[in-house]
Amino acid sequence: MEMRRTPILGMWGSYRTRHQAAFEESRYSLRVFLKDRLALLGVCLILATIIVAVAAPWIAPYPDQGRGASNVKERLEAPSRAHPFGTDASGRDVLSRVIFGARIPLMISSVVVAAVLIIGVPLGGIAGYIGGWIDELVMRITDIFLAFPALILAMALVAFLGPSLRNVAIALVITWWPWYTRLVRGMAVSLRQRPYVLAARTMGVSQWTIIRRHVLPNALGPVVVQVSLDVGTVILEVAGLSFIGLGARPPQPEWGLMVSEGREYILSEWWISTFPGLAIFLLVLACNLVGDGLRDVLDPRTKR
Q: Is residue 199 part of the contact set for other proteins (CB under 8 A)? A: yes
Closest CA to 238 of 106, 97, 69: 106
By CB under 8 A, name the one of 22, 44, 114, 244 that touches other proteins. 22
Number of residues that bind other proteins (CB under 8 A): 25
Question: C-alpha distances in angstroms, 239 versus 82, 85, 91, 233, 281?
Answer: 27, 19, 22, 10, 11
Quote the CA–CA distance of 230 and 222 in Å, as a whole number: 12
Which residue's CB is nearer to other proteins, number 1 or number 21? 21
User: Is residue 240 within 8 Å of 168, Cβ to Cβ?
Assistant: no
Q: Is residue 18 part of the contact set for other proteins (CB under 8 A)? A: yes
DSSP per residue, 195-237: HHHHHHHHTT--HHHHIIIIIHHHHHHHHHHHHHHHHHHHHHH
Quote the CA–CA distance of 286 and 301 in Å, as a whole number: 24
Residues 83-142 that bind other proteins (CB under 8 A): none
Q: How far is the CB of 281 from other proteins (least distance, A)?
A: 37
* Interior angle at CA 174, CA 169 and CA 175, nearest 5: 100
Which residue's CB is nearer to other proteins, number 213 or number 249? 213
Q: Is residue 200 part of the contact set for other proteins (CB under 8 A)? A: yes
Q: Is residue 16 part of the contact set for other proteins (CB under 8 A)? A: no
Q: Is residue 249 part of the contact set for other proteins (CB under 8 A)? A: no
Residues 213-242 that bind other proteins (CB under 8 A): 213-214, 217-218, 220
By CB under 8 A, name the one of 205, 224, 229, 282 that touches other proteins. 205
User: Which residues are near other proteins by CB under 8 A?
Assistant: 17-22, 25, 194-196, 198-206, 209, 213-214, 217-218, 220
